[in-house]
Structure 1
Amino acid sequence: MGQADTLIAIEKTEVGYHEGFSNGHHNNHQKFSPAVPGLEWSQNQSWCQTFQSWAFQQAGVKSLAPVTASCPAAVNWYKSHGRFSYYPAIGAMVFFGHSGGEHVGLVYRYDADFAYTIEGNTNANGSSEGNGVYLKKRARRDSFLYGYGLPHFTEGIVTADPGLKNKPGYTYMAVASSRESVAPPMAEAEEALPWVSSQQLAWAASRPTAEEQAAGNGGGSAADDVALVQDALENVMGVAPADPHSVFEAETQELFERFRMEKLGHPEADGHGVPSTQELAELGRQSELFSVRAGSSPAAEQPWVSLNQVVWASTHSAQEEREQPGGDASPKADVALVQDGLRRVMHTDVTDERGIFETATQGLYDEFRRTVLHFSGSDAVGAPGEQSLTELGQRAGLFRVHAGFPAGGTTDGAGVEAMGQIHPTQVTFHRCTSEGTLEDWIAQASTVAGVRASNFWVKGFRTAVARESSGNPNACNLWDSNARTPPGFSKVKDFGDGYRLHEPIVRLNGALTHFQCSRGIVQCIPQTFAQRHAPGTSVNIYDPVACIAAAMRYVRSRYGVAVDGSDLAKKVQQFDPNRPPHGY
């Protein structure tokens, strides 16, 4: 690979990178200034030229461009070296604005009418606030485009400048897509677009602003993906959402729902809720701004890692870990995937034995939480949590996370009741679209809750469900004493059906609601749902199986209901059809 192609490849790997975000705006804080000796001072300033200086340094061709953060200085440097042209070239720096002093990019191909570029500190929608690294398509004859700096590559340079046709070191091509295109050109495949993760978008669409902003931004974060979706919505719908850039709130949700109905033809009844992978893929196609993946690697069927197996391994000795049986379902298999993820994300070897979670793995995991996820205090140390483990799997593109326990494992004194327990902030509030009957859901819940399926459970839950939610899995009580946000929690974006006293039901569509509202088919509050969450079930409180299973575990624990539910109606009045309703 020649110097030009190496340079282009390095810059393309940065496509999708975004600068920092604070106080409702991008802030020019990025990774390139500190990495270029002599340009450290340029942090928090416009960085389009700094990105180019960094890329030339990374490609080992630092001497072929000026080390500067100034576009005018770079223009003058190329002019003084006799390497400036008004025609594009492969690997050329392209300058924009008055005398080329306002912006810069790098040309990776050109045709008769356009130069195709990689640019830092720009955006997808043409506004003045740059935010990241993008691929751009620039009209060659646009008055904003000033000219080109032609690096003196060892292999020479391919250019459209007819005045350089017969000069050594230059190869004239009216149209070119790479240095290799001096051979008979072949049709070039459409340039790869940056990826967005439908999982990360779903997370952002169901979290309050404070959580989204606390998660930070940078390569691979939800903020990056939200920014691309907002740019795409502006591109396709002709209007920008009023939410802060990179934050998925009510205005972005509303504009996405307009896109569903106006561009995808969905009826209004189906136009709500978290963006689906298919809808995002269509938005990316129509805007030509991104492609969509489910997790952090395109179309990958990733293996599962059990959160509780990893937690078990992190709290047991190496000897106890080694004594566990092998196979895909063992803690060792999950720990090995976590170690591989840490190597990939942190670029550091894990010195513990493969599959054994000991001091070195713990130390690197803590560093991942501090430096990548920006956790602090007690959140950045100790056994892995579901949020950080999920983030590691997505960023590494290696695995997905569920909350199951190893076969035959124990909870070490916490008892069976603690199995599956999650933190209340891990509960989600997505709209339920599951099909099935109440009897189906009760049967499935019986299995995962560890109770014996029986008509006692069916009769009891038929009664309670009718009283609690009228059979609506998406019911959210907005008026009773539970409808508040306790200290330590934040309001949440909710996609259920809001019930107010003596008022019509309202579809919430992501509206901010109090955290502690009773929700779901048997009206659990999130704290109870989290504490009694059944292992292997959804963390969505509106999932009927998960909600019923949590309620089963709750009445078993609080009221001592028998495993077959034979005394359910006797011990819990709300489940007894022969007595009046009574909260439980």
Structure 2
Amino acid sequence: MSQTDTLIAIEKAEVGYREGFSNGHYNNHQKFSPAVPGLEWSQNQAWCQTFQSWAFQQAGVKILAPVTASCSTAVNWYKSRGRFSYYPAIGAMVFFGHSGGQHVGLVHKYDADYAYTIEGNTNANGSSEGNGVYLKKRARRDSYLYGYGLPKFTEGIVTADPGLKNKPGYTYMAVASSFESDALRVAEVEEALPWVSAIQLTWAAAHPTAEEQAAGNGAGTTADDVALLQDALEKVMGVAPGDPHSVFEVETQELFERFRTEKLGRSEVDGHEVPGVQELVELGRRSELFNVRAGSSPAAEQPWVSLNQVVWASTHSAREEQAQPGGDAGPKADVALVQDGLKRVMRTDVADERGIFETATQDLYDEFRRTMLHFSGSDAVGTPGTQSLTELGQRTGLFRVRTGFPVGGTTDGTDIDATGQIDPKQVTFHRYTPEGTLEDWIAQASTAAGVQASSHWVKGFKTAVVRESSGNPNACNLWDSNAKTPPGFSKVKDFGDGHLGDGRIVRLNGSLTHFQCSRGIVQCIPQTFAQRHAPGTSVNIYDPVACIAAAMRYVRSRYGVAIDGSDLARKVQQFDPNRPPRGY
């Protein structure tokens, strides 16, 4: 793939991303500023240019654009290099407002009248409060559009500038697109949009506010889907419902009924009901804000897939998988459904034998997590997890997900339940004064986590502890991609040792730090520590027994590690002294 298409694909994959939301408003808190070295300071500020800097960095073409949060700086950067034009180009940065200093996007297509762009920190309705990444259609002759910066791609750049005809590095085309055909382009746009569940929206429409709010804003709740529905109604109908954002109540229902009667031509008599699947599909199409999951058919009609069956298959050889029984007793039927789901959402065949989870299935599953779910780092690789597998089932409508059905009588973490789980906001960050040895902590953690004490656990955790924290129970990572405060959380007073990424360590002494920093002797984030918290252990993430016990329960649940840890090193590379470090 060319540099141009790689850059555009990366930006399109972010379409549908939304910044943080608090106190009834979007708040400019997003993932791009912390991920661009030198632009960390720009968090909570306008981020349209920061998004472009991030995308160029992700595409491996960082030198083709300035690393800046300022549109004006970017305009001047291109002008100083003689690569600024008043005609569009594929992969060009397009600048808006006075002298180009107010807003920026990236061109992925243009014709005689319009430039089609990908823009961060904008919205669907044209107001000044940007909230996410969108596909936009911009009139080329609009006075708000200032001009274009032309990156010096290796393959050259396609432009509508007649003054650049026959010049090396430029190809003149009056009309151009970044894709080979309209069909492929439409498919790319469709896949870039976020998904809503008809089941979630039907539930929200039929339940009172108190129940919706009690459901919260986490994965699997209605909040994000309702917010997209309200944004779509605002764009299509020209007016926003008066209900709180993410809550489906009377005014959202009334505006949806207006959409039915005024836009879809339905009579008022049959308009007073919860949203239907086809109505949602049409609203998503007209607003260009979301897709509707095919999984919105009644869940009772969908077969079950066992998470543990799929995890077992992903960590065993083809010969072992083929030796397992078929039907409900073995993993083959479950793996076949997963492969069918991957084929549907990724639009490509799976090269592995049907029902056998090997390299090709794993690679395609990882690609699904990266491009469709926007997972990154260790979250985007390895054995399937509950969240990604559930999402695959919902998007395709092919299956539901449950735990259970251990394969071949093995113990693969199926007995890890919610016992001991706490709310992430209950986690504390008090400094731990070391007592005992690492071996003592691992032994105590084994008892708390309900695993069989063994040399496998000791050897594995001794390896991981050195790699994760250098043996410091109070280690707090202040610099990697986890070091952020997600929506719904606040910064916390921390009393650990802050690692800055350049070898320096600072005593925090109660300083405010990002909630999600990796912490403790095996570097858990608070959300994982809370979810896998072992009953009877401390809620202090810096307590090494509590931290190790939570990590034990985590690797058993996520990777299917046996109760005696005998396969820990094989299944989780970070715990294997014979292989190089790799996050877990």
Counterpart of 1:140? Answer: 140
Counterpart contact for 1:21–1:217, Cα < 8 Å: no
Alignment CA distance shift 1:146-1:177 (3 Å): same
Moved more, 164-173 or 115-124: 164-173
Could you tell me how far 1:215 is from its partner in structure 2?
4.2
Counterpart of 1:112? Answer: 112
**Residues 282-309 of structure 1 deviation map (CA, whole Å, 9 limit, x = unaligned):** 223333444433239xx999994549x7
Counterpart of 2:381? Answer: none
Higher Cα Rg: structure 1 or 2?
1
Could you tell me how far 1:169 is from its partner in structure 2?
0.8
Alignment CA distance shift 1:399-1:195 (3 Å): same
1:79, 1:404 → 2: CA distance? 58
Counterpart contact for 1:85–1:150, Cα < 8 Å: yes
1:126-205 to 2 correspondences below 5 Å: 126-178=126-178, 192-193=189-190, 194-197=193-196, 198-205=198-205
Which stretches in structure 2 are left out of the alignment for 5+ residues? 312-320, 344-355, 358-372, 376-384, 406-584
Counterpart contact for 1:91–1:107, Cα < 8 Å: yes
Instruction: Give the aligned residue type for 2:139.
Output: A
Matched, 1:91 2:91: yes
Counterpart of 1:216? Answer: 217
Alignment CA distance shift 1:16-1:283 (3 Å): same
Counterpart contact for 2:113–2:141, Cα < 8 Å: yes
Q: For 2:147, what is the secondary structure of its paired residue?
A: strand
Q: For 1:133, what is the secondary structure of its paired residue?
A: strand
**Residues 499-540 of structure 1 deviation map (CA, whole Å, 9 limit, x = unaligned):** xxxxxxxxxxxxxxxxxxxxxxxxxxxxxxxxxxxxxxxxxx
Instruction: Give the aligned residue type for 2:237.
Output: M
Could you tell me how far 1:250 is from its partner in structure 2?
2.5
Counterpart of 2:411? Answer: none
2:221, 2:14 → 1: CA distance? 14
Counterpart of 1:243? Answer: 243
Alignment CA distance shift 1:118-1:81 (3 Å): same
Alignment CA distance shift 1:186-1:303 (3 Å): closer
2:96, 2:334 → 1: CA distance? 50
Instruction: Give the aligned residue type for 1:251.
Output: E
1:165, 1:300 → 2: CA distance? 57
Q: For 1:329, what is the secondary structure of its paired residue?
A: helix
1:300, 1:35 → 2: CA distance? 40
Could you tell me how far 1:246 is from its partner in structure 2?
3.6
Alignment CA distance shift 1:209-1:35 (3 Å): farther
Matched, 1:44 2:44: yes
Matched, 1:285 2:285: yes
Counterpart contact for 1:241–1:252, Cα < 8 Å: yes
Q: For 1:192, what is the secondary structure of its paired residue?
A: helix
Counterpart of 2:399? Answer: 400
Could you tell me how far 1:116 is from its partner in structure 2?
0.2
Counterpart contact for 2:39–2:68, Cα < 8 Å: yes
1:217, 1:267 → 2: CA distance? 36
2:390, 2:202 → 1: CA distance? 13
Could you tell me how far 1:249 is from its partner in structure 2?
2.8
Instruction: Give the aligned residue type for 1:12.
Output: K
Counterpart of 1:328? Answer: 327
Matched, 1:227 2:227: yes
2:300, 2:138 → 1: CA distance? 38
Counterpart of 2:56? Answer: 56
Could you tell me how far 1:70 is from its partner in structure 2?
1.4
Instruction: Give the aligned residue type for 2:151.
Output: P
Alignment CA distance shift 1:395-1:128 (3 Å): farther
Alignment CA distance shift 1:310-1:82 (3 Å): closer
1:176, 1:201 → 2: CA distance? 39
Q: For 1:253, what is the secondary structure of its paired residue?
A: helix
Alignment CA distance shift 1:313-1:93 (3 Å): closer
1:5-84 to 2 correspondences below 5 Å: 5-84=5-84
Q: For 1:143, what is the secondary structure of its paired residue?
A: coil
**Residues 328-373 of structure 1 deviation map (CA, whole Å, 9 limit, x = unaligned):** 33475688699999x99xxxxxxxxx99xxxxxxxxxxxxxxx999
1:326, 1:187 → 2: CA distance? 40
Counterpart contact for 1:94–1:105, Cα < 8 Å: yes
1:19, 1:111 → 2: CA distance? 31
**Residues 92-118 of structure 1 deviation map (CA, whole Å, 9 limit, x = unaligned):** 001111111111100001011100000
2:106, 2:150 → 1: CA distance? 10
Counterpart of 1:466? Answer: none
Could you tell me how far 1:244 is from its partner in structure 2?
3.1
Q: For 2:245, what is the secondary structure of its paired residue?
A: coil
2:126, 2:210 → 1: CA distance? 25
Q: For 2:327, what is the secondary structure of its paired residue?
A: coil
2:308, 2:180 → 1: CA distance? 52
2:108, 2:308 → 1: CA distance? 47
Counterpart contact for 1:87–1:161, Cα < 8 Å: yes
Alignment CA distance shift 1:159-1:372 (3 Å): closer
1:368-387 to 2 correspondences below 5 Å: none
**Residues 242-293 of structure 1 deviation map (CA, whole Å, 9 limit, x = unaligned):** 1233433322122112222333333334223321111112223333444433
2:294, 2:167 → 1: CA distance? 50
Counterpart contact for 1:28–1:47, Cα < 8 Å: yes
Counterpart of 1:261? Answer: 261
2:274, 2:330 → 1: CA distance? 33
Which stretches in structure 1 are left out of the alignment for 5+ residues? 315-321, 345-353, 356-370, 374-383, 407-584
How many residues in Structure 1 have an aligned counterpart in Structure 2?
Answer: 362
**Residues 168-209 of structure 1 deviation map (CA, whole Å, 9 limit, x = unaligned):** 11111111113869xxx9997586342533233334434536
Matched, 1:271 2:254: no
Q: For 1:233, what is the secondary structure of its paired residue?
A: helix
1:399, 1:263 → 2: CA distance? 31
1:64, 1:217 → 2: CA distance? 38
**Residues 475-500 of structure 1 deviation map (CA, whole Å, 9 limit, x = unaligned):** xxxxxxxxxxxxxxxxxxxxxxxxxx
Alignment CA distance shift 1:399-1:172 (3 Å): same
Q: For 2:177, what is the secondary structure of its paired residue?
A: coil
**Residues 15-45 of structure 1 deviation map (CA, whole Å, 9 limit, x = unaligned):** 1111122221112222212211122222222
Counterpart contact for 1:305–1:334, Cα < 8 Å: no
Alignment CA distance shift 1:292-1:393 (3 Å): closer
Moved more, 277-286 or 45-54: 277-286
Counterpart of 2:314? Answer: none
